Amino acid sequence: MTSPTPRDDAPLIAADRVVGAAPLPTEKTLKARRNLVIQAGRFVLLNARIMKMVLKGHH
């Protein structure tokens, strides 16, 4: 029987260091991301942005 491959965490730890320095969203931001009224507004804005891009790219 072959022995299981040993786990080698160095690459994960290196990336953890980078990711660990990223900003975490505050409770307020997390709530805003789920707030139906705010998100309805964002939805309209996102669609408008995409439409603008579509029109800009067509020849």
Partner 1 sequence: MARVVVLGAGVAGHTAALHLRRKLGRDHDVIVVSPNANWNWIPSNIWVGVGRMSAERVVFPLAPIYGRKGIEHHQAKAIAVRPEGDAEDPRGAVDVVYTDPTRAGEEARLRYDYLVNATGPRLNFGATEGLGPDGGHSWSVCTAGHATQAAAALAEVIEVLRSGRRQTLVVGMGHGTCTCEGAAFEYVFNVDHELRAAGVRELAEVVYLTNEFELGDFGVDGMSFEQQGFRTSSKLWTESLFRERNVRAILGAHVEKVEPGVVHYEQLDGTRHALPFDFAMLLPPFRGADLVAYDRAGAEVTAALFAPSGFMKVDANYAPKGYDDWAAEDWPSTYESPAYPNVFAVGIAFAPPHQISRPRKSPNGTVVAPSPPRTGMPSGVMGKTAALTIVERITKGPQAHTHTASMANMGAACVASAGTGLRTGSAAAMTMFPVVPDYARYPGSGRSLKDTIGEIGLAGHWLKLMLHYLFIYKAKARPGWQFIPE
Residue 37 beta carbon to partner 1: minimum distance, rounded to whole angstroms: 11
Tell which residue, 1, 48, 46, has the closest CA to residue 38: 46
CA distance 54 to 13: 41
Smallest gap from residue 32 Cβ to partner 1 (A):
7
**49 lines the binding site for partner 1 (CB under 8 A):** yes
Q: Which residues contact 33 (CB under 8 A, 6 or more apart)?
A: 25, 39
Q: Which residues are at the interface with partner 1 (CB under 8 A)?
A: 4-8, 10-12, 14-16, 18-25, 32-34, 36, 38-40, 42-43, 46-47, 49-54, 56-59
